[in-house]
Chain A
Amino acid sequence: MLTLKMAFRNLWRNKRRTGLIILAMVVALSMLMLAIGILNGMMADIIASATDQYTGHIQITKEGYPDDRDLYKSMKEDQQYIKQLEAISGVVAASARLRCFGLLSAGNRTQAIEVLGVLPEEEKKVTTLSQKIIKGTFQVGPGECAIGQILAQKLGVDLNSQLVFLTSAADGSIGNDFLKVKGIFKTGSFDHDGTLALVKLPWLQDLLVYPGQIHEIALRVKNPAQSPLVSQKIPPKLSNTPLLIRPWQEILPAMKQILDFYDIYLIVLLSIFYLATGLGIINSFFMIVYERTKEFSMMLSLGTTPGEIRRLMLAEAFFMGLISVVIGGSLGFGLLSWFYFHGLDLSAWMTPITYLGATIPPVLHTQFSYQGIIYPILFLLGTSAAAAYIPAWRASRLDPVKGMRRG
């Protein structure tokens, strides 16, 4: 108890010295919290853009459909089955989709596109495409479509423009009809903005002469990381049609690898960061021992045991660590919150990066995580104690006679 008291008082004997060490630790802690927050945010954005925007967290298709997206590899649009899916715990919503490929023209401009037939009110619950509408509406009716902003640009069209869509219908005929632009979306993904059109499911079924058929059911789950577990609860057959049920980790295996790698990356980053901080703290403590040689020698001469000196130093380090945690933690938390709400706008230096179907937006938002806050704090306390140990040990082993003379 006396040691703690002395240690605490010692801190304020040389305020500048203590302040500098604390400052170093505060900066290290808060910056690390911020860095992890930004990385977490980036990862969340990547997962979200890869899954929330278009893919969904789990996709149910007929076996073989993802290989070639063959029009005929379809399944029944079974409302009961969809209700059944939505009742599974962990599933938030399900959206049935029919997909086809064709040519979209306006005047003499033509683009090859992917058309996704959805029920807008269902799709809204599963993907975030509806939130990416920059003009018009997501609620398209029969003969209406929502298209990507780049596609609109390429075709030179705007809201209420009339387009002609041509495709190969399921009965072998040429599916051809008008489409009116009712919405324009911007996702940041070049693929989706440049080649995707959303239409109403029943309309597309009519055009394709494919009544009651769909190609996939996209699911949204509460916790995307749990998708593989939720997948296992899904009935693998729909009236004898063998189904393929894939969580996004399977649909986007590269994305999963990135995330696995990210965990390792975080540990490496943390280690490097704290090694550097630790070395700084060791250096400062050696300076303390050097400065206070006379003081320690005096204490030793007066009968303080080397063990007490050691504990005194460690306690001082611990206090500094504790103060840094309080200040740095608050600062870090403040920074996290600021960038959580306001984002780190890098759009002046970078454009959205699309990689493996995911988009990294130019405005980075931090993401809170338990690990991203607790680990840096524990690491800091550990580092400050560990870094103080060697200088403390040095101080306890001083030769008091030599030491006194030096001062």
Chain B
Amino acid sequence: MKKKLTSMLVSLISLLFCSNVFMVTVPLSAIPLEKKDLAEIIREVEKKYIGDSAKGSMEMKIVTRNYTRKMSMQYWSKGKDRFLVRILSPAKDRGISTLKLRKNIWNYLPKVDRVIKIPSSMMGGSWMGSHITNDDLVKETRIAENYTFRLLKDEKSLMEIEGTPQPAAAVVWGKIVYTVAMPDLVPVEIAYFDDEGNKVRTIRYSEVKEIDGRKIPLTMEVLPLEKPNESTIIHYDSITFDVSIKDDFFSIQTLKK
């Protein structure tokens, strides 16, 4: 039962973080020269939603065998280390917030006025049956660091890049295949494979719109392939880039507000 709770907390966190799931934390210079272009493309792709700082609102719809749930949220981010998200609706969950500071995550439950720091042991599962795991939060941000990239297809409008884990890397996926629309580097689809080479998850992007000079897909669909009728869909209602937010905005005090 502990595990169940753990996994749900974990997945909440990861869900809330889905907007910056694909941050890359490694400096480009660390990547070998001949691979740089592909790694840079991946990094560009994943930086799409983040910029230097951003705020916005989104709606998340989770469909599982057992329930369908819709939430709207407000978020703020600064760089790759600071992130705060707050649930606006449904009313009963209003105010539930999550704060990320580097590798630490806190949850705030306003009803019982409690801040809960998520221990690392509780970061490995799924919450609310949403189809994003915490590994997406912690490990996906290190894709460029841990994977080697190879060009699969290079057409004028579309590029397919395959990432395979470097030998010593502790990673979740056996293979990741990015499909990116050129020339604006807009993600179209990302497919995730397990160690046996089976495709287990797809993230699909759609509804591309230009915001502050960036072309961004406003809808992101996470489809777990072993559960055909389930999905988590995130839709960005608004995104504003390069907003001025102080570093100390991302604090427990703000979390509890």
Q: A9-17, A36-44, A163-171, A346-354: which one contacts chain B?
A: A163-171
Nearest A residue to B111 via CB reads A176
Q: Is the CB of A168 within 8 A of B8?
A: yes
Asked if B4 is at the interface of the complex by the 8 Å CB criterion, the answer is: yes
| A residues neighboring B (CB under 8 Å) | 72, 101-103, 112, 114, 164, 166-168, 170-174, 176-178, 209
**Least Cβ–Cβ distance between A267 and chain B, in angstroms:** 44
Q: Is the CB of A101 within 8 A of B1?
A: yes
Q: Is the CB of A174 within 8 A of B96?
A: yes
Q: Is the CB of A172 within 8 A of B111?
A: no
Q: What are the residues of chain A within 8 A of B9 when measuring CB–CB? A: 174
Nearest B residue to A166 via CB reads B5
Contact for B112 among A172, A178, A209, CB less than 8 A: A178
Q: Is the CB of B112 within 8 A of A176?
A: yes
In whole angstroms, how far apart are the Cα atoms of A168 and B66 in the complex? 13
List the 9 closest pairs (A to B, CB-CB), nearest first: A101-B1, A172-B128, A168-B8, A112-B2, A164-B112, A72-B66, A176-B109, A172-B69, A171-B67
Q: What are the residues of chain A within 8 A of B93 when measuring CB–CB? A: 173-174
**Least Cβ–Cβ distance between A127 and chain B, in angstroms:** 21
With A164-B112, A164-B114, A177-B111 as known contacts, state yes or no: A172 contacts B62, CB within 8 Å: yes
- Sort chain B's interface into a size bin: 20 to 34
Asked if B92 is at the interface of the complex by the 8 Å CB criterion, the answer is: yes
**Least Cβ–Cβ distance between B135 and chain A, in angstroms:** 19
Asked if B12 is at the interface of the complex by the 8 Å CB criterion, the answer is: yes
Asked if B129 is at the interface of the complex by the 8 Å CB criterion, the answer is: yes
Q: What are the residues of chain B within 8 A of A112 when measuring CB–CB? A: 1-2, 5
Which residues in window 88-130 of B have CB below 8 A to A? 92-93, 96, 107, 109, 111-112, 114, 116, 127-130
Q: What are the residues of chain A within 8 A of B148 when measuring CB–CB? A: none
Q: What are the residues of chain B within 8 A of A173 when measuring CB–CB? A: 69, 92-93, 128
Nearest A residue to B67 via CB reads A171
Q: Is the CB of A172 within 8 A of B67?
A: yes
In whole angstroms, how far apart are the Cα atoms of A173 and B96 in the complex? 10
**Least Cβ–Cβ distance between B92 and chain A, in angstroms:** 7
Q: What are the residues of chain B within 8 A of A103 when measuring CB–CB? A: 2, 5
Q: Is the CB of B67 within 8 A of A168?
A: no
Q: Is the CB of A168 within 8 A of B5?
A: yes
Q: Is the CB of B109 within 8 A of A102?
A: no
Nearest A residue to B113 via CB reads A164
**Least Cβ–Cβ distance between B101 and chain A, in angstroms:** 21
**Least Cβ–Cβ distance between A373 and chain B, in angstroms:** 48
Contact for B5 among A72, A102, A171, A172, CB less than 8 A: A102
**Least Cβ–Cβ distance between A136 and chain B, in angstroms:** 22
Best-buried of A102, A103, A173 by chain B (most CB within 10 Å): A173
Known contacts A174-B12, A177-B112, then 11 further A-B pairs from the complex at CB < 8 Å, ordered by chain A residue: A101-B2, A112-B2, A168-B4, A168-B8, A170-B67, A171-B69, A172-B130, A173-B92, A173-B93, A173-B128, A176-B111
Q: What are the residues of chain A within 8 A of B64 when measuring CB–CB? A: 172
Q: What are the residues of chain B within 8 A of A168 when measuring CB–CB? A: 4-5, 8, 128
Q: What are the residues of chain A within 8 A of B111 when measuring CB–CB? A: 176-177
A-B contact pairs, 27 of them (CB 8 A): A72-B65, A72-B66, A101-B1, A102-B5, A103-B2, A112-B1, A112-B2, A112-B5, A166-B5, A166-B112, A167-B5, A168-B4, A168-B5, A168-B8, A168-B128, A170-B67, A172-B127, A172-B128, A173-B69, A173-B128, A174-B12, A174-B93, A174-B107, A174-B109, A176-B109, A176-B114, A178-B112
